[in-house]
């Protein structure tokens, strides 16, 4: 098995179950380019292994994932010409300019990656905890099942803090529901795990000290199902929602996401592709804490 810098790859029961763990706890598992490339490699390795029946996606440290990496030194080095530049910054549109560059890079590393993981030929379970924000939602929504620790909260703050219409893989209306999506995107508020469970977004809620153990038990139970049956169940559901418009909706919303970026890049002298404080959104680095969406206020 390959050595990963940003992930842990663990196997159980003669490789019937694989657990892939995001391992950038110091950055709250923010998704830099290296992590995303390794995650795709790990998913594809598990998919290619005929012994594997179920894949668990987890996160090390205090939270599952804080979303896109927007400014760590590691991320800046990956995208800056020099010895530490990641190869993906020079390929798949990385050497192009303007909207074309951003669109191609985000199409490959955010949109298509996530869609590929959603359609993986294995059953996948997201094991989440802590705060799951913005692009962290994309990772867990690519999985077939989501299980969460009791204190987990979910939010997308890019509307309220960056002036953006959501993420590159915009499954929000399908997961939160249309009106809840509008509320959460317009306010930046969060929902707790109990509401996520009521919405059907989360399948199981476990105590934090039993999260890994209970998720593994669920994966082992699913792994007992014949692989053909498991795949056909997954495909039946995925094709149903695709026929309801899921895939076309993702494509359309990705285009709207790029239009949103292009608007900000055009109105800002420096070309910043998201809203700034002078546009009426707070600086995401110093913004007030996310608060729960309340029924009466």
pLDDT of 2: 76
pTM assigned to the model: 0.97
98: left (phi over 0), alpha (psi -120 to 50) or beta: left
DSSP β-ladder status, 204-206 and 17-22: unpaired
Distance CA 149, CA 215 (A): 10
Q: What is the pLDDT of residues 30-78, one digit of tens each?
A: 999 999 999 999 999 999 999 999 999 999 999 999 999 998 999 999 9
Query: Given a cut of 70, is residue 1 above it in pLDDT?
Result: no
Contacts of 15 (CB under 8 A, 6+ apart): 49, 51, 52
pLDDT of 55: 99
Q: What percent of the chain has pLDDT over 90?
A: 98
What would the mean pLDDT of 116-121 be, rounded to a whole number?
98
**Which pLDDT band, with edges at 50, 70 and 90, does 199 fall under?**
very high
């Amino acid at each position: 098995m390959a050595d990963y810098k940003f992930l842990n790859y663990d196997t159980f029961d003669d490789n019937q179950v694989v657990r892939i763990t995001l391992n950038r706890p110091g950055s709250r598992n923010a998704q830099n380019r290296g992590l995303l490339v390794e995650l795709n490699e790990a998913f594809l390795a598990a998919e290619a292994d005929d012994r594997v029946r179920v894949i668990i996606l987890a996160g090390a440290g205090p939270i599952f994932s804080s979303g896109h990496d927007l400014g760590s030194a590691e991320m800046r080095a990956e995208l800056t010409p020099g010895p530490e530049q990641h190869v993906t910054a020079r390929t798949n549109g990385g050497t192009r300019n303007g909207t074309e560059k951003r669109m191609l890079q985000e199409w490959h590393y955010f949109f298509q990656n996530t869609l590929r993981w959603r359609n993986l030929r294995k059953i996948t379970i997201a094991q989440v905890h802590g705060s799951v924000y913005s692009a962290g939602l994309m990772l867990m929504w690519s999985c077939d099942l989501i299980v969460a620790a009791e204190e987990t909260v979910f939010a997308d703050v890019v509307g309220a803090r960056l002036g953006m219409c959501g993420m590159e893989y915009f499954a929000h209306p399908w997961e939160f529901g249309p009106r809840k999506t509008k509320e959460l995107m317009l306010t930046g508020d969060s929902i707790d795990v109990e509401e996520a469970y009521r919405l059907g977004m989360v399948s199981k809620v476990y105590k934090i000290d039993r999260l890994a153990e209970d998720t593994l038990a669920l994966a082992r139970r699913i792994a007992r199902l014949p692989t053909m049956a498991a795949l056909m169940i997954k495909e039946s559901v995925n094709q149903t929602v695709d026929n309801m418009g899921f895939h076309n909706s993702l494509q359309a919303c990705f285009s709207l996401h790029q239009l949103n970026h292009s608007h900000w890049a055009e109105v800002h002298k420096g070309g910043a592709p998201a809203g700034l404080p002078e546009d009426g959104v707070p600086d995401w680095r110093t913004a007030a804490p996310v608060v729960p969406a309340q029924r009466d206020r």
